[in-house]
Amino acid sequence: MSDSLFIGGGGVDYAEKQGLTLKYANRHGLIAGATGTGKTVTLQILAEGFSNAGVPVFLSDVKGDLSGLAKSGTAEHKLHGPFTERAEKIGFTDYTYHACPVTFWDMFGQQGHPVRTTVSEMGPLLLAQLLELTEAQEGILNIAFRLADEEGMPLLDLKDLQALLVWVGENAKDLSLRYGNVSSQSIGAIQRRLLVLENQGASQLFGEPALELSDLMRTDASGKGMVNILAADQLMGAPKLYATFLLWLLSELFEELPEVGDPDKPKLVFFFDEAHLLFEDAPKALVDKVEQVARLIRSKGVGVYFITQNPADVPEDILGQLGNRFQHALRAFTAKDRKELRMAAETYRENPRFETEEAIREVGVGEAVTSMLQKKGVPGIVERTLIRPPSSQLGPFTKTERAAHLAASDMAGKYDEPMDRKSAFEILKARADTAAKEAAEAEEKAEELEPVLREFNAGRRYSGARVTRSTSKSTRRGASFGEAMTKMVVKELTGTTGRRMVRGILGGLFKGR
Ligand SMILES: Nc1ncnc2c1ncn2[C@@H]1O[C@H](COP(=O)(O)OP(=O)(O)OP(=O)(O)O)[C@@H](O)[C@H]1O
Ligand SMILES: [Mg+2]
């Protein structure tokens, strides 16, 4: 069975060993089922299996219960009582307890090493999706990205993008001539969305040092694949951010990894938990993109496994690409449920021993209707499989255990401290500072000359006799000088390098910081 992962027992009395063929593990998968039916444990045993086979894994831990992967299970653990029974039943004779090599990651940098990307790596398309922008707003975001490119201003963090948008707003008139309508309303709308994103804690996602993909693809000294666990409990409060981040990670893997065709085993297996979040209210263009990434990433040796309660949550085109399936129990209360159940059942190759639809309704906790890809990538006949018990601890790591693990991690120190190099924000701020200095100098000059101006203006107000009464020479000089000065000051104050713009830039930047 070294070319496959042991997943549990099927056939009569669950006595036939069932396996997931490593060679086809890059042809994606699905773990579905109602709440409490065993999805998370299935994910856990798959992660263990891949890791043992030397395949690195990336998964998100939505409820915090997967951190136990980093710790060995024990025979004494009371939850493990039934595990040995289960193991015996399915002929899992070499059932042992062991931990997996784990790296913890956390966008908020608390439960793991921080994961970051830059605004420009995220790109306007995903960012527009994340911010739920309209077409017009997305157009402006595209212009902003292009300008940043042209002006040589790196977009690393959110304040870079915010500063750039302020600058775009200040130059809207000129930019409209070049690119079409750049409306301040749309810019304002994007800025407000960015604020919402910031309030969700996203400022920590954007910046440097950005995650290097190779750090997700490591094996330990004994050749086991690293299990990368992204803390996602807090992230669930911002579902759009969660889904977009994972999608970004997938597209990044797709872009950076070389073609490998169908390798003997995957280079990385990616578990996408709560996958329905990716597809909920997603525009067709995005679903198409996910479909495309899923189809093409296979040949880069990356297997993607979607986890969701109902297979109907996954668009048909994508579902059709998920070759290895674990269908835990589905309930069928309503007519709609029954219809979806029937449709789910129809996608399997029938087993003469049982009705697929009935089996999906009946399977117990930790049991699943499974179908794995067989020789030549043909879907196997559907089985009722009692899933094997995990070797690592069921349930979470304690806070203390996690802290100790993090301190000892070989990623410690690499990502923990943020780095803020010169980028759009700093460049625009420097420009604004220069402009502010110029404006201040001009104002100072104006103040020096104010008495002259006052005299001149007073002279004009009290016209006639009084002017003629003073020496005609000095009045004439005052008039010409004062007029020129007035013009100069007005020009300085309304020109493009004037105070108005300075306030515009700084006001926008420092608001809410
Ligand atoms: N393969 C298994 N071996 C042993 N016990 C299992 C197995 N699968 C599930 N169980 C038991 O069932 C419980 C619930 O399973 P699990 O947490 O995986 O459900 P779930 O489908 O992820 O639920 P939720 O939708 O609430 O996240 C586990 O805590 C465990 O006690
Ligand atoms: Mg679960």
Distance CA(211)–CA(113), nearest Å, equals 10
Decide: 129 in ligand 1 pocket, CB within 6 A.
Answer: no
Contact 247, 126 (CB under 8 A): yes
Amino acid letter, 499: R
Name the burial class of residue 235, with classes exposed (0-12), middle (13-18) and buried (19+) by CB atoms within 10 angstroms of its CB.
Answer: buried
- For residue 270, the CA-to-ligand 1 centroid distance in Å is 20
* Number of Cβ atoms within 10 Å of the Cβ of 261: 9
- In which residue are the tokens 């993607």 written? 304
Contact 242, 280 (CB under 8 A): no
Distance CA(353)–CA(399), nearest Å, equals 47
Question: H/E element holding 466?
Answer: helix 465-469
Any idea of the CA torsion for 382, 383, 386, 391, to the nearest 10 degrees?
Answer: -60
Decide: 80 in ligand 1 pocket, CB within 6 A.
Answer: no
Decide: 81 in ligand 1 pocket, CB within 6 A.
Answer: no
- Helix, strand, coil share (%) of the chain residues, nearest 5: 55, 15, 35
Question: H/E element holding 4?
Answer: strand 4-10
- For residue 294, the CA-to-ligand 1 centroid distance in Å is 27
- For residue 272, the CA-to-ligand 2 centroid distance in Å is 12
Protein residue whose Cα sits closest to atom 12 of ligand 1:
38
The ranges assigned to domains in the chain are 4-116+215-393, 424-512
- For residue 68, the CA-to-ligand 2 centroid distance in Å is 13
- Full 3-state SS string of 96-131: CCCCCCEEEEECCCCCCEECCECHHHHHHHHHHHHH
Q: Is 479 left (phi over 0), alpha (psi -120 to 50) or beta?
A: alpha
Decide: 366 in ligand 1 pocket, CB within 6 A.
Answer: yes
Distance CA(56)–CA(138), nearest Å, equals 36
From the CA of 90, the nearest ligand is 1
From the CA of 59, the nearest ligand is 2
Contact 313, 49 (CB under 8 A): no
In 367-412, where do the E strands start and end?
367-371, 383-387
The two counts, helices (H) then strands (E), for the chain are 19, 12
Decide: 87 in ligand 1 pocket, CB within 6 A.
Answer: no
Q: Which residues of 314-324 are buried (b: 16+ CB within 10 A; e: fewer)?
A: bbeebbebbbb
Contact 436, 502 (CB under 8 A): yes
- For residue 387, the CA-to-ligand 2 centroid distance in Å is 15
Decide: 40 in ligand 1 pocket, CB within 6 A.
Answer: yes
Amino acid letter, 301: G
Pocket test for ligand 1, best of 6, 31, 40 (most atoms within 8 A of CB): 40
Q: Which of 49, 116, 44 is nearest to 397 (CA)?
A: 44
Decide: 387 in ligand 1 pocket, CB within 6 A.
Answer: yes
Q: In what order do the strands lie in the sheet with 16-21?
A: 16-21, 4-10, 383-387, 367-371, 324-327, 29-32, 302-308, 268-272, 57-61, 227-231, 102-106, 113-114
Tens-binned pLDDT, residue by residue, of the chain (513 aa): 479 999 999 999 999 999 999 999 999 999 999 999 999 999 999 999 999 999 999 999 999 999 999 999 887 665 556 788 888 889 888 888 999 999 999 999 999 999 999 999 999 989 999 999 999 999 999 999 999 999 999 999 999 999 999 999 999 999 999 988 899 999 999 999 999 999 988 889 999 999 999 999 999 999 999 999 999 998 888 888 998 899 999 999 999 999 998 899 999 999 999 899 889 888 888 888 889 999 999 999 999 999 999 999 999 999 999 999 999 999 999 999 999 999 999 999 999 999 999 999 999 999 999 999 999 999 999 999 999 999 999 999 999 999 999 999 999 989 999 988 888 898 998 888 898 898 888 888 888 877 777 776 676 665 544 433 333 444 344 444 434 433 443 333 343 333 333 333 333 332 222
Q: Which two tokens stand for residue 274?
A: 């709560």
Whole-prediction pTM value?
0.84
Protein residue whose Cα sits closest to atom 18 of ligand 1:
38
From the CA of 81, the nearest ligand is 1
Q: Which residues contact 109 (CB under 8 A, 6 or more apart)?
A: 204, 416
Contact 100, 397 (CB under 8 A): no
Tally of residues, the chain: 513
Domain covering 4-116+215-393, topology: Rossmann fold (3.40.50)
From the CA of 36, the nearest ligand is 1
Protein residue whose Cα sits closest to atom 31 of ligand 1:
79
Decide: 412 in ligand 1 pocket, CB within 6 A.
Answer: no
Ligand 1 atom with minimal separation from the 37 CA: 21
Write the CA distances from 116 to 57, 109, 113, 268, 419, integer angstroms.
Answer: 18, 10, 10, 20, 11
- For residue 65, the CA-to-ligand 2 centroid distance in Å is 8
Decide: 482 in ligand 1 pocket, CB within 6 A.
Answer: no
Decide: 265 in ligand 1 pocket, CB within 6 A.
Answer: no
Distance CA(24)–CA(27), nearest Å, equals 5
Provide the pLDDT for residue 465: 41
Asked if omega into 209 is within 30° of 0 (cis), the reply is yes
Amino acid letter, 504: G
Distance CA(445)–CA(155), nearest Å, equals 37
Ligand 1 atom with minimal separation from the 387 CA: 1
From the CA of 276, the nearest ligand is 1
From the CA of 42, the nearest ligand is 1
Decide: 37 in ligand 1 pocket, CB within 6 A.
Answer: yes
Indicate if the alpha-carbon torsion angle 116, 121, 125, 128 is positive or negative. Answer: positive
Write the CA distances from 134 to 131, 185, 186, 190, 286, integer angstroms.
Answer: 9, 12, 9, 9, 14
Ligand 1 atom with minimal separation from the 62 CA: 27
Decide: 9 in ligand 1 pocket, CB within 6 A.
Answer: no
Pocket test for ligand 1, best of 307, 310, 365, 367 (most atoms within 8 A of CB): 365
